[in-house]
Amino acid sequence: AQTVTQSQPEMSVQEAETVTLSCTYDTSESDYYLFWYKQPPSRQMILVIRQEAYKQQNATENRFSVNFQKAAKSFSLKISDSQLGDAAMYFCAYNNAGNMLTFGGGTRLMVKP
């Protein structure tokens, strides 16, 4: 079974600074998808960014980018120019193109003004 590990229960960043959230996963598959979801206090799960394993280029969405290291099974999220609205729980998730999305335990991000 696939597992997803987020080793940082909490992270803190100063407004306008950059922060990196870590995620590692375990799989024997070669074709899969990786995601970062944001969950603010409203509970809504919001897709931040998506990466297809067969693509070597790291995905980027505005201030959000990933560092995808397939051999190391690592998928970190970098948030640049952090804003107060970025404060939330962030979940890394894995899908093997099948029917299950496997989540990590989450990282709580705090943004200091």
Question: Concatenated DSSP letters for the chain?
Answer: --EEE---SEEEEETTS-EEE--EEE-S-SS-EEEEEEE-TT---EEEEEEETT--SPPEETTEEEEEETTTTEEEEEE-S--GGG-EEEEEEEE-SSS-EEE---EEEEEE-
CB-nearer residue toward another protein: 57 or 113: 57
Closest approach of Cβ 102 to another protein, in Å? 8
Q: Which is nearer to another protein, 9 or 113 (CB)?
A: 9
CB closer to another protein, 68 vs 91: 91
**Site residues, another protein (CB under 8 A):** 4, 33, 35, 42-45, 47, 50, 91, 93, 95, 97, 99-101, 103-106
Minimum Å gap between C-beta 87 and another protein is 17
In terms of CB distance, is 33 or 64 closer to another protein?
33
